[in-house]
Amino acid sequence: MNRAQRLRLTIEDEIVNGVLRPGARLDEAQLAERFGVSRTPIREALLQLAVTGLIEVKPRRGAVVSMPDPTRLLEMFETMAELEASCGRLAARRLTPEHQAALAAALEACRAAAEAGDLAEYYAENTVFHAVIYRASRNGFLCEQALALSRRLAPFRRIQLRARNRVGQSFAEHAGIVEAILSGDEAETAARARAHVLVQGDRFSDLILSLGRDDAAA
């Protein structure tokens, strides 16, 4: 992980944890001074954050924190769940030996990180795992859309893993998805992939509380 990526994660955490509130201006010079770096990695980090939608670059104001409200966040997770379901369903139908090997490797990497209790490593391998399924769908456009929305939701999916026992549950769900894909059961794969991503009920309330928000959607 390079310096810009580390800075991005630090700023990202401050946004999702409510330290930096919506509307707050992110001045490159001030951030560079704070972190003791040049403005170049700061600029790169802010560009990466802009991709996720956590910040917005406005004329004459520069980068401004722009957190989605709870309703918008729920809509994004619902859409992500459907994209994941579609990718999983097509992967179950179209799985090639190459993608099967990549899927097995990705699952094993998630297992190792989960057993080691390494949250950062698990999240990194989790990202790889989902990308393997997207590619296994063998639908380039669908893969692009899934990757794009996954990047936007990355900060929120990462913070979810901090919930008690969530890493173990996540890995068990991964194993179930792989089992369904290998069996060629399209409907079961779609159902498991959808449930794995969808946040609702207590899980959504927990996510909103983790973000320091008290205005969770009903």
Looking up residue 196, the CATH number of its domain turns out to be 1.20.120.530
pLDDT for res 154: 84
pLDDT for res 216: 41
Q: Kindly report the CA angle at 5 between 45 and 142, in degrees rounded to 5? A: 90
pLDDT by residue (tens digit) across 137-146?
A: 999 999 999 9
Are residue 74 and residue 37 in the same domain, yes or no?
Answer: no
Are residue 167 and residue 142 in the same domain, yes or no?
Answer: yes
Least confident of 29-33, 134-138, 146-150, 198-202: 198-202
Cα 161 from Cα 119, distance rounded (Å): 7
Are residue 202 and residue 107 in the same domain, yes or no?
Answer: yes
Structure-model confidence comparison of residues 178 and 21, the more confident one: 178
Are residue 118 and residue 145 in the same domain, yes or no?
Answer: yes
| Backbone phi and psi for residue 93, each to the nearest 5 degrees, phi listed first | -80, -35
* Count of structural domains within the chain: 2
pTM (two decimals): 0.80
In a domain, 217, yes or no: no
- In the predicted model, is pLDDT for residue 54 greater than 90? no
pLDDT-above-70 percentage for the chain: 91
- In the predicted model, is pLDDT for residue 157 greater than 90? no
Are residue 126 and residue 54 in the same domain, yes or no?
Answer: no
For the chain, the average pLDDT equals 89
CB 171 within 8 A of CB 123: no
Are residue 111 and residue 173 in the same domain, yes or no?
Answer: yes
CB 78 within 8 A of CB 198: yes
Q: Which domain holds residue 173?
A: 70-210
- Helical ranges in the chain per DSSP H: 3-16, 28-35, 39-52, 70-94, 97-116, 119-136, 140-160, 166-183, 186-197, 201-210
In a domain, 216, yes or no: no
In a domain, 194, yes or no: yes
Looking up residue 44, the CATH number of its domain turns out to be 1.10.10.10
Q: What is the mean pLDDT of residues 33-56?
A: 90
- In the predicted model, is pLDDT for residue 88 greater than 60? yes
